[in-house]
């Protein structure tokens, strides 16, 4: 069973060199795209996730599961 495409993490960073936002999906090796705006980078990343998973399935390769959020005690501490 393939996880929901929108459950994957997307890391967005600005590239001074390319003058675009770079969107990377940590769970899916090599899954990276870009956009002129932050919103465009997210949208392109969602398309890239779908494409990555669909292609892996076509090739019979395993699809890594999305990461699950797990809060830590330190995250809620004000120290």
Mean pLDDT confidence for 64-79: 73
Return d(Cα 35, Cα 48) in angstroms, integer: 12
Confidence of residue 5 (pLDDT cuts 50, 70, 90): confident
Tell me the per-residue pLDDT of 31-70, one tens digit each, with 9 for 90 and over. Answer: 999 999 999 999 999 999 999 999 999 999 999 999 988 8
Query: Structural domains in the chain?
Result: 5-76 (3.30.160.250)
Taking alpha carbons only, the member of 17, 20, 24 closest to residue 38 is: 20
The rounded radius of gyration (Å) of the Cα atoms in the chain is: 15
Mean pLDDT confidence for 13-20: 98
In the prediction, which pLDDT does 69 show?
Answer: 85
> 51 versus 72: which is more confidently predicted?
51
In the prediction, which pLDDT does 77 show?
Answer: 54
Task: Give the pTM.
Answer: 0.83
CB of 37 closer than 8 Å to CB of 44: no
Return d(Cα 14, Cα 3) in angstroms, integer: 28
């Amino acid at each position: 069973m393939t996880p929901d495409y929108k459950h994957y993490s997307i890391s967005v960073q600005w590239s001074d060199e390319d003058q675009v936002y770079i969107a990377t999906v940590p769970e899916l090796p090599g899954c990276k795209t870009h956009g002129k705006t932050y919103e465009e980078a997210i949208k392109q990343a969602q398309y890239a996730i779908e494409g990555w998973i669909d292609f892996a399935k076509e090739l019979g390769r395993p699809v890594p599961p999305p990461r699950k959020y797990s809060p830590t005690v330190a995250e809620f501490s004000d120290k």
